[in-house]
Structure 1
Amino acid sequence: MQLSASLLILAMSTALAGSIKVTSLVFPTETSTSYVEVTPLKDLALSAFTLCMRVATELQGKREVILFAYRTQTIDELNVWRELDGRLSFYLAGEGVIFRTPELGPMETHLCVTWDSQSGASAIFVDGRKSLTKIYKKNHRIRSGGKIILGQDPDHFVGKFEPKQSFVGEMYDINMWDSVLSQSEIQDLLSRKQVQLGNVIDWNSANIRSHGQVQLVSLEV
């Protein structure tokens, strides 16, 4: 049976060494029913973005893994993947751009994706280290009216999920901006320095709805 739960994530400062509590999403098994919907703070009509998250997975071998999906009624506007061979990629309404980076694994990785329409400059950051810049989808624009899904790749607006593409593991600190952050800002995020969190998705106040077997776990970081 599919279970649903709504949660307004709140970051709470604690008295212990300045730590904070955050909510993490644990996807325990491969399924076609476990996913999370995220309501953004503003429409995703974007000509630039930075998307960051902390992620860990034990999935290895030749298997695609969806990390982030934003789909309208007609098309996948923005998908972030771990490819069959372990490379990382993202796709904007069609053919994607692929990067050879350190592979994701069971130890937490801080992952960021950046793209700017005016120049086409795109890059991936793994634990604060930047990939080479690739030129991709110059003058493209991401369209509004879609839904953000974590854990599954929707082949319809919300649905038609494939278990072999589902995410299994843990993710949190998912923030998105409508601009490209600098490398120093991304490194500050990695080290949890004071940085203005996303103006499209702010994980400290994100409105999410979980489905299936996704577990919401409170972490002190």
Structure 2
Amino acid sequence: MKSALVLLCVLLTLTSVCESGVNDKGLLFPKPSANSFVKLTPLKPLNLEAFTLCMRLSVDPNVVSKQNRDTILFAYRTKDYDELNVWQEKGNISLYLRSSSEGAFYSVPLLSIFRTNLCVTWESSTGLTAFWVDGRRSTLQVYRQNHKVQSGGVVLLGQDADSFLGSFDEKQSFVGEITDMNMWDYVLTGDQIRHFNDKVWLGPEPNVLNWDTVQYEVNENVLVVPEKYN
């Protein structure tokens, strides 16, 4: 039954619901779109005073690397706010917490046709924020000290929602592959994040988003990439 469900997700380009984890597979967004996305169901509400968010990404540089193109990498939207977004934009990788203008911007190596291990950490009590690219940490910034990420929203891959599950912009859509999207409600240590580069993860079990077990919904033209390609 599980193999049939996975096969269905690979073949369909219409909306489908997949209840098992992605587990060693990837998600391919083959072209720009205003309606293709994947909705993830977290293990717990995103009521966060700290987090570590990690993912492996590769992009179509012919699309994503165009001058002045913004590309959404991760979106968490509540009814009224872009609560937690990660972007590649204007030569930076950036984090926004309940804002579309005031963010933490990092001139780190940008995404490419080859897979990049990307993590971002943030802690409310200090505001300390950093991006990690292939195990290397950026300079720390202080961003949104004493802020709290609110629950009640939806986690989306592939699109930035300017309204609750709507108002997508094709020119901001993700084009490429995403895999191993994991999230913890605390800041991992540097050694733990560096081990994220390894194929076999030996760190603590993700307790907010766990790629191996996450429930997800595929909408429109998104393909689940079989394990043999990863």
TM-score, length-scaled by structure 1: 0.92
Aligned match of 2:21: 9
CA contact (8 A) 1:128 1:190 kept: yes
Supply the AA of the counterpart residue of 1:71: R
Residues in 2 aligned to 1:197 and 1:126: alpha-carbon distance in whole angstroms:
21
The structure with the largest strand share of the pair is 1
Residues in 2 aligned to 1:81 and 1:193: alpha-carbon distance in whole angstroms:
25
Q: Among 67, 71, 77, which residue is 2:73 paired with? A: 67
Aligned match of 1:23: 25
Distance 1:35 1:2, change over 3 A: same
**Percent identical residues:** 43
Aligned match of 1:138: 145
**Alignment RMSD (CA, Å):** 1.4
What SS class does the counterpart of residue 122 from structure 1 fall into?
A: strand
Supply the AA of the counterpart residue of 2:75: A
CA contact (8 A) 1:175 1:197 kept: no
Supply the AA of the counterpart residue of 2:226: S
Give the Å deviation of 1:201: 0.2
Q: Among 177, 197, 203, which residue is 1:195 paired with? A: 203
Supply the AA of the counterpart residue of 2:32: E
Aligned match of 2:93: 88
Supply the AA of the counterpart residue of 2:97: L
| Structure 1 stretches lacking a partner, 5+ long | 12-21
Residues in 1 aligned to 2:71 and 2:22: alpha-carbon distance in whole angstroms:
28
Q: Among 183, 191, 196, which residue is 2:190 paired with? A: 183
Give the Å deviation of 1:23: 1.7
CA contact (8 A) 1:2 1:33 kept: no
Aligned match of 2:57: 55
Task: Give runs of ≥4 in structure 1 deviating > 6 Å.
Answer: none
Aligned match of 1:14: none
Q: Among 33, 36, 40, which residue is 1:34 paired with? A: 36
The structure with the largest helix share of the pair is 2
Aligned match of 2:84: 78
| Structure 2 stretches lacking a partner, 5+ long | 1-11
Residues in 2 aligned to 1:102 and 1:10: alpha-carbon distance in whole angstroms:
27
Q: Does 1:205 align with 2:205?
A: no
